[in-house]
Amino acid sequence: MDGIIPLYKERGMTSFDCVNRVKHIVHEKHVGHAGTLDPNVDGVLPICIGKATKCVDFLHEKPKEYSGELTIGFATTTEDLDGEVVDRKKVADKITDEEVQNAMSAMTGHIKQIPPMYSSVKVNGRRLYEYARAGEKVERPEREVNIISFKMIANDFDSQKDQQRVSFTVKCSKGTYVRTLAVDLAKKLGYPGVMSSLTRISSGGFSLDQTLSLEDLSDLAANQLISQYILPLDIVFEDWQHVNLTKEQWQAVQNGAWLKVGELPHNSKQRLALTYQSQIKALYYRRDTDHYAPLKMISTKA
């Protein structure tokens, strides 16, 4: 069984939990996910099965989109509601829509981020959350991410709690910590903040309305219908240039051979999805002026 399931991950589960559950439902050993979601975040989690596990890196290339909520007025150790409160500052008067939108605009485009201490980023062979749990400090690596869009949906001032809630959507590149983005927005507005809710509404080219829950998958498996709902791995490469191989070319590709530029269609792109008998067999890239070389082998079987 090979293909992709756009899974709806519920809150309270880890991404690894979801992978294990899917393994048992579809009875396959080779199952992986494309893009970790924190336990308190729900939404789209692409699950790759069989040969589709080779597509994970290419699913990561596609932007992700989230809807979330920032609560302004206090901060926590984890930048979300799971952590301990470490800072408070009353919001005495409403931060205007214009102030919020201007701050968001300033945070759009290519920006630098420092990942939160409670994250899975590795430093010196250990994950940051391991340092955090041990009470140890370590220098965190700065990374560049691309915030394609960052928009305010609602802006509600709570005079009873002296807090403000900003609902937002964000479309961003892989590696973006939306928790950190939300907290940095609060800082830009002059206050501590915390990400109080987050849902991933799009990932790997799949949207929330395409997802199936674990309960859905169990029911489909029980009725022997699950294979009808597993999407072909080819869907990941719909926007790639496809090149149909001749029998002789396919034999060469099976052995990992480079292909000459002259053997391929004129004006071929930098990356190609090579097909044989209507199935993607390999991904090649322009190695030099005269050759294309293997980027990823999907299958060497006819």
What is the sign, positive or negative, of the torsion defined by CA atoms of 162, 42, 12, 115? Answer: negative
Instruction: Give domain 64-201's CATH number out of 3.90.600.10, 3.40.190.10, 3.30.2350.10, 3.40.1260.10.
Output: 3.30.2350.10
- For residue 183, pLDDT over 90 is answered with yes
Q: At what angle do helices 214-222 and 15-26 cross, to 10 degrees?
A: 10
Q: Provide the pLDDT for residue 10.
A: 96
pLDDT in tens, 20-29: 999 999 999 9
DSSP code for 80? B
- List active site positions: 38
What band does 17 get if pLDDT is binned at 50, 70 and 90? very high
257, two tokens: 């051979």
CATH 3.10.100.10 assigned to 3-61+205-233: no
Of 174, 111, 185, 176, residue with least CA distance to 152: 185
Amino acid at site 46:
P
Question: What is the per-residue pLDDT across 212-271, written as a single tens digit (0 to 9) for each?
Answer: 999 999 999 999 999 999 999 999 999 999 999 999 999 999 999 999 999 999 889 999
Both tokens of residue 180? 């950190």
What is the spatial distance between Cα 95 and Cα 82, in angstroms, rounded to a whole number? 25
Kindly tell me if the per-residue pLDDT of 199 is higher than 90.
yes
What pLDDT sits at residue 164? Answer: 98
| CB count in 10 Å sphere of residue 62 | 18
Domain parsing of the chain, residue ranges: 3-61+205-233, 64-201, 240-297
113-117, 144-148, 235-239 — which is least confidently predicted? Answer: 113-117
pLDDT band at 301 (very low <50, low <70, confident <90, very high): confident
Indicate if 64-201 has the same CATH topology as 3-61+205-233. yes
Question: Does 120 have pLDDT greater than 80?
Answer: no
Q: Which amino acid is at 260?
A: K
Helices (H) and strands (E) in the chain, counts: 7, 18
> Which fold does the domain 240-297 belong to in CATH?
2.30.130
Q: Say how far apart CA 259 and CA 301 lie, in whole Å.
A: 19
- Specify the DSSP element, H or E, that contains 16: helix 15-26
Q: Which amino acid is at 249?
A: Q
- Locate 141 and state its tokens: 């690596």
- pLDDT in the model for residue 127: 85
User: Contact 198/66 with Cβ under 8 angstroms?
Assistant: yes
pTM, 2 dp: 0.91
pLDDT of amino acid 300: 84
Say whether 111 sits in a helix, a strand or coil. strand
Supply the pLDDT for residue 6: 97
**Average of per-residue pLDDT across 285-293:** 95
Percentage, residues of the chain above pLDDT 70 = 100
Kindly indicate the confidence band of residue 140, based on its pLDDT and cuts at 50, 70 and 90: confident
